[in-house]
Amino acid sequence: MEIKIRTGIITVSDRCFRNERWDESGNVLKELVQEKLKGQVNFYKIVPDEWEEIKNAILQAIDEYSVDLVLTTGGTGLSKRDITPEVTSTLIEKEVPGISEIMRLEGFKNNPFSVLSRGVSGVRKGTLIINLPGSPNGVKECFMTILPVLTHAIKTIKGIPDFH
């Protein structure tokens, strides 16, 4: 059974939020979701690196837009304001560490700094949440790494039989 994955994309960036920079990473994600995943983008928001803003955007995507998948981009590094993983960790009910681990491992092959990404992945209320890095190249590389498992993961979370 094929499903059209309903997706929420959240860009976490002070500069994009203040319109000082175009949201290239968020737009790369939109394109990847539509063209590679064959999903639809039902929610898109740019928020600053602020705890409540990030939390509220994730909850809005899940609770108000009923998305199957939330992809965040940005806020996963080591700077003081990078808090996306911490916020996400307080919201998830079940962690899915393998997703974040494979993104870092595969990323390391081209960019050793990818191991400094602290993104987490997990499930909340039947929605898969994945933190991606903030760079457009990192977003594309990470998304393509996990693409083969996304549909199966979401079907499993939703209780939809999937013969793999």
1 occurs within a structural domain: no
Radius of gyration of the chain (CA): 14
163 occurs within a structural domain: no
Mean pLDDT of the chain: 96
118 occurs within a structural domain: yes
164 occurs within a structural domain: no
Q: What is the mean pLDDT of residues 135-148?
A: 98
% the chain with pLDDT above 70: 98
> What pLDDT is stored for residue 151 in this prediction?
96
- pLDDT, tens only, 53-97: 999 999 999 999 999 999 999 999 999 999 999 999 999 999 999
26 occurs within a structural domain: yes
Map the chain to HEC letters.
CCCCCEEEEEEECHHHHCCCCCCHHHHHHHHHHHHCCCCEEEEEEEECCCHHHHHHHHHHHHHCCCCCEEEEECCCCCCCCCCHHHHHHHHCCEECHHHHHHHHHHHHHHCHHHHHCCCCEEEECCEEEEEECCCHHHHHHHHHHHHHHHHHHHHHHHCCCCCC
Q: Note if the pTM is more than 0.85.
A: yes
- List the domain range (segments joined by +) for residue 132: 6-158
82 occurs within a structural domain: yes
126 occurs within a structural domain: yes
**Domain of residue 39, CATH code:** 3.40.980.10
pLDDT band at 2 (very low <50, low <70, confident <90, very high): confident
112 occurs within a structural domain: yes
The count of domains in the chain is 1
> What pLDDT is stored for residue 1 in this prediction?
60
